Structure 1
Amino acid sequence: MAYRETEKMRQRKAEARRRIVECTYECVAEGGFRSARITRIAGLAGVATGTIYRHFESREDLFAEIFRTATQKEVDKVAEALDTPGDATTRLENALRQFAERALRGPMMAWSLIAEPVDPKLEEERLVYRRAYAEHFERAIREGIAEGCIPDHDARQSSTCLVGAIAESLVGPLSPTLASQNSLTETDKNRLVDSIVRFCVQGLTGSRR
């Protein structure tokens, strides 16, 4: 008789997978991908290390799922900020501010997503999501051009520049090494966010806001 997996067993497997993903996410948020050891994840999830490899082919596959989950949350927040009232420039300001403020509130996870040296598989995921951010920005820039609040120019190139500018400007403040040496106060963080938003908006519109 062919083996048939029962509903109870499917639920048990799904629950184990959920715990593995949640515990891996917590480990990355605490110390980045490099500190997320399979043995520690297994211990936190209450499973054997072999169980992890029954759900994920490799450590890189597990990390790729965490990367996709975490980054999609941030992309969705940017999309929400771009869907608020106001002209395109105002909405872009909201989105840029959302991006930077959320990164500074969760610096280790943000560092892991933006700049931590990672395996090629995760680097590919990073490029996919940088493009996702750029597509949202591009749409808003095109709307701004149509509204007349943003000068006519290459919206696709500008959107890519926005993603690069905001990510690069956060690398230093988010870096675990530099952050431990130069702890930012809330005032410092607010100034940093304001500076990033101002720079990006001025680059898009050519005027001060």
Structure 2
Amino acid sequence: MRGETIEQIFHSAVEVFAHSGFERAKIDDVARHAGVAKGTIYYHFKGKEELFVALMRDGMEKMTEQIHRQMGREPDPLRRLRALLQAQVEYLYEHGTFAKLLLSESWGSVERQQEFRAKIRELVELIEEVLIQGAEEGSFRPQMSHHDTAVAMFGAISVSVLQDLFSPERTGTREERVAGLVANLEKLFVDGVVVSKGKT
């Protein structure tokens, strides 16, 4: 029951924070949207800041878990990179409001920044690990900084999804848009890191 209540609060908090912004959002609004008493939220969280940090931590952990699942035990670095890309795009599309919060509201308090950076670091390290593996095996170009490349890739995926989600010109079904975005990002990243035959 506790888990269901927390999920209900998180779901409502995402909507309220995204609609009102962190500063203007109120615990009363979250409680009303979730259909729970305000005291229930304060039983689990000290206040709005702690709720927001827990919410973002939960979302980032779920995205990381989904990426791990889709990557599986695939040994080939190119396939691992494609699986990672597919998983992150799919998760952010499925949780578009969370994606908006991720890029717009996570740089506030010191506590929020520390939590945000720690969770982002886990995802960046996954990308970096794949890039290093590919470079060591000779299938990816060596990067001046695998870390910087991984950060850029994570940011490009996140911003591209957000741009498409909130674009008034978007057409097609969500599945078609996800497939198109994954294909475009894959071409960009693969062309950027994969060694072509006959080149080093």
The one-letter amino acid of 2:172's match is T
Q: What is the aligned partner in structure 2 of residue 24 from structure 1?
A: 9
Q: Is the 8 A contact 1:87 1:149 kept in 2?
A: no
Distance in 2 (alpha carbons) for counterparts of 1:104 and 1:207: 31
Q: What is the aligned partner in structure 1 of residue 157 from structure 2?
A: 166
Distance in 2 (alpha carbons) for counterparts of 1:97 and 1:192: 9
* Cα 1:126–1:157 shift into 2, 3 Å: same
The one-letter amino acid of 2:11's match is E
Instruction: Map 1:101-112 onto structure 2 (within 5 A).
Output: 101-112=90-101
Q: State the number of aligned residues.
A: 188
Shift of 1:149: 0.9
Q: Is the 8 A contact 2:31 2:41 kept in 1?
A: yes
Q: Is the 8 A contact 2:8 2:34 kept in 1?
A: yes
Instruction: Map 1:1-209 onto structure 2 (within 5 A).
Output: 15=1, 18-30=3-15, 32-35=17-20, 37-43=26-32, 47-113=36-102, 115-118=103-106, 119-120=108-109, 121-153=111-143, 154-175=145-166, 178=167, 181-186=168-173, 187-205=176-194, 207=196
Tell me the C-alpha RMSD between the 2 structures: 2.6
Q: Is the 8 A contact 2:18 2:97 kept in 1?
A: no
Shift of 1:147: 1.8
What is the TM-score normalised by the length of structure 2? 0.79
Distance in 2 (alpha carbons) for counterparts of 1:69 and 1:111: 15
What is the TM-score normalised by the length of structure 1? 0.76
Shift of 1:156: 2.1
* Cα 1:189–1:55 shift into 2, 3 Å: closer
Mark the runs of 5 or more structure 2 residues left unpaired by the alignment. none
2:142 aligned counterpart, secondary structure: coil
Distance in 2 (alpha carbons) for counterparts of 1:172 and 1:44: 27
Q: Equivalent pairs: percent with the same residue?
A: 24
Q: Is the 8 A contact 1:82 1:140 kept in 2?
A: no
Shift of 1:51: 4.0
| CA radius of gyration, larger in | 1
Deviations 1:96-146 (A, max 9, x none): 111112222332222222x23343343443322221111111111121122
Distance in 2 (alpha carbons) for counterparts of 1:158 and 1:147: 18
Distance in 2 (alpha carbons) for counterparts of 1:131 and 1:125: 10
The one-letter amino acid of 1:185's match is G
Q: Is the 8 A contact 1:32 1:108 kept in 2?
A: no
Mark the runs of 5 or more structure 1 residues left unpaired by the alignment. 1-14
The one-letter amino acid of 2:38's match is T
